[in-house]
Structure 1
Amino acid sequence: MNNSITRLFLPAIILWSMLSCTNKDEIIITAFKEFPEEIKGCACYFSRTKEELYKGSYIFTDDNSEFGFISINGKMTKLDLVGYEETDEKHWIKIFSNSQYEITVVSQQKWQVDQMWHQTSVITIKDKKGKIVTESIHAFGECGGC
């Protein structure tokens, strides 16, 4: 009888201990399909892959002037644009911040078609506790639509 109870409860205890040990402060960039209503007109938006970009699955967007949005752990997070530097005509750095995170977007323009600039970027997220996550986007982001 005792052996049957062990076989029954041991997997449940192991699973519970594994789940309780997960890091609740983990930063995971999650994709979103809908732009926040504040994003109108000119905007930049980024996806992990070219396919995701064309399917409308994004990991970051900004209004190209005041604020940006990123989905972290499934929650849409708004940040203010606090810094912008154009290092040359094809490279720029944007820094966004709020009470929880600071996000740096380093972009390189690949080509331009009409009012759309296609680029690759690296997004770095730093939480206010000092944890850093870097997401390298190997495909496309676009800025434009003005």
Structure 2
Amino acid sequence: MLQSFPMPAEVEGCSCYFARNQKEYENEQYVYVDDYGNNAYIKLDGHMIKIPMEEGDFDPSNFSKVLEDSEYRISMSGKKTSEQDETMMFTGQLTVLIKKENRTITTPVYGECGC
């Protein structure tokens, strides 16, 4: 099960963070967080998972992102809903493939990327 979590202490500065909906977002309970180029974080079945990423893995113009390591594949898609200064709001869908179980978890997401 994909679980929500507060902002990881390692993430500072520019980042993307998404919750299942606007209420969880406002309560800072996220299902996905990344730091714009080094690591992405999700929480599955009670375990925090950190997946390495590279800068440029995210295209804000059409809001698509795919991250993968030996155990997981995370993909996100959606659309930009607004933009202010250096922050962009998005709505979309997050899908996590757990490779060893051949199990997929999908959830709607609401959140932002910015500095």
2:90 paired with 1:119: yes
Identity %: 29
- Taking structure 1 as the reference length, the TM-score comes to 0.69
* Structure 2 counterparts to residues 30-109 of structure 1, below 5 A: 30-33=3-6, 35-81=7-53, 84=57, 86=59, 90-109=61-80
Asked if 2 retains the 8 angstrom alpha-carbon contact of 1:44 and 1:62, the reply is yes
| Mapped contact 1:78–1:98 kept (Cα < 8 A) | no
RCO greater where, 1 or 2, for CA within 8 Å and sep 6 or more?
A: 2
- Mapped partners of 1:81, 1:66: distance in 2: 5
Partner in structure 2 of residue 14 of structure 1:
none
SS of structure 1 residue aligned to 2:9: coil
Larger Rg: 1
Q: Paired residue for 2:2?
A: 29
Q: Which of structure 1's runs of 4+ aligned residues deviate more than 4 A?
A: none
Structure 2 match to 1:6: none
Please report how far the alpha carbon of residue 85 of structure 1 lies from its aligned counterpart in structure 2 after TM superposition: 5.8
What letter is aligned with 1:99? S
Pairwise CA distance, 1:66: 2.3
Q: TM-score, normalised by structure 2?
A: 0.86
Q: Are the equivalent residues in 1 in contact too, given 2:57–2:67 (CA < 8 A)?
A: no
Instruction: Name the aligned partner's letter for residue 57 of structure 1.
Output: Q
Structure 1 regions of 5+ residues with no counterpart? 1-27
CA contact (8 A) 2:38 2:53 kept: yes
